[in-house]
Amino acid sequence: ELGGPNAKGSNLNIPLPPGTSTEGYLYVIENCVLPVLAEFKPDLVVNSAGQDNHYTDPLTNMNFSAQGYARLTSMLKPDIAVLEGGYAIEGALPYVNLGIILAMAGIDYSGVVEPNYNPEKLKQSESITDKIKQTCDQIMRYWNQRHQMREAAGEPGQIVTRHREVFYDTDNIFERQKEKIRVCRDCGGSFEVDSKAAPGYHILGVHIPINACKACREQGYAFYDQADKSKYQRIYLQDRTKDLYEVKS
């Protein structure tokens, strides 16, 4: 998943193998995330501070520590940290949250250590280290080729279609998406998403981005106006240029 045709190579997901320790996470931050941020120069950095990767989490089989979370936060220097998921409420949450808060405040966090923390037991193998380095190298190749990838994704004005399938395991919902997006060099491009989900729901969503150019605004309304109401239970329009939200059924 590298982003749509107007952002190829700008959506970067970095999968890490089971058993990745603090060493591996901080390697990714230093050699992949920070170089990309330095070049991209974001206005805002948000740390989605999920704790699933803590070594006490019963589900994820990862070996991150409170010291690692704090050090990551210190390196990343986020403007905002948002508390996310995790299943080790006693083993991880108090220590990780404290480490993150102290790091964001610029206060010494060296004393934030879990009672059962043993870095030697959590050390990652050489094969994991090699895999992480290979993944980072591949991600940086995607980033450095993003302009060429975007040019190859389609010509300006072209409507590009892609299909995705999503399974929401908590609610046992299986969704099929058909996405159409206008290729544009001037903005993010308007797009529509045709979504079918068992047990039988069918909707169409049209999105016009906040920075949409005139051509993409017109294409967004064309998506919306031309949609066949008999095919969908609801048709939604979100026009962020006007802060407008409409529904027809």
Q: Which of 130, 32, 34 is CA-nearest to residue 74?
A: 34
130 and 242 fall within a common domain: no
Give the predicted TM-score (pTM) of the model.
0.84
- Per DSSP, the three-state class of 23 is helix
**In a shared domain, residues 198 and 219:** yes
Domain boundary among 149, 172, 200: 149
How many domains in the chain? 2
Residue 13 within any structural domain of the chain: no
Q: Looking at the structure, do residues 143 and 68 belong to the same domain, yes or no?
A: yes
Range of the domain at 133: 22-149
Domain-ending residue, one of 119, 149, 179? 149
Q: Which residues of the chain have a pLDDT value below 50?
A: none
pLDDT score at 200:
80
In a domain, 65, yes or no: yes
CA atoms within 13 A on the CB side of 193: 15
Tokens in use for 110?
């060296």
Q: In what order do the strands lie in the sheet with 234-239?
A: 159-168, 173-182, 191-197, 201-208, 234-239, 244-248
